[in-house]
Amino acid sequence: MARIATCWTMLVLLLAAELVAARAGLGAVVCVLAVLMVLVIVLGFMQILRAPPLAIIFALGGLFWLAILLALGSLDSFTRTTVPVHDTAPYAPAVR
């Protein structure tokens, strides 16, 4: 019961901090606080550390593939260089 109350209080405080950080325009802080909230749920409510070893492997596997999905999926958008093209003549067939 004390564990649940502690986790609930932590989540409420993190939510309040998130709202303050968002108001101040601190996007990176909001992201960190969101990750902390996820950690509180996974460790406090879901009790991953007390789960069977196979469950921990599955959870880490899910996290790994999620990282692969996000990294490879966003790679093109974040690394593509847009080269502006100037003064291009409209296509016209060569006149012999």
> Which residues between 57 and 76 bind another protein (CB under 8 A)?
58-59, 61-63, 65-66, 69-70, 73-74
Within 8 A by CB and 6+ apart from 40, the residues are: 7, 10, 11, 14
Q: CB atoms < 10 A from the CB of 22, how many?
A: 13
Residue 36 and residue 21 in contact, taking contact as beta carbons nearer than 8 Å: no
Residue 55 lies near another protein (rule: CB under 8 A): yes
> Judged by CB under 8 A, which of 1, 83, 89, 92 binds another protein?
1
Residue 13 lies near another protein (rule: CB under 8 A): no
> Which residues between 17 and 46 bind another protein (CB under 8 A)?
18-19, 21-25, 27, 30-31, 33-34, 37-38, 41-42, 44-46
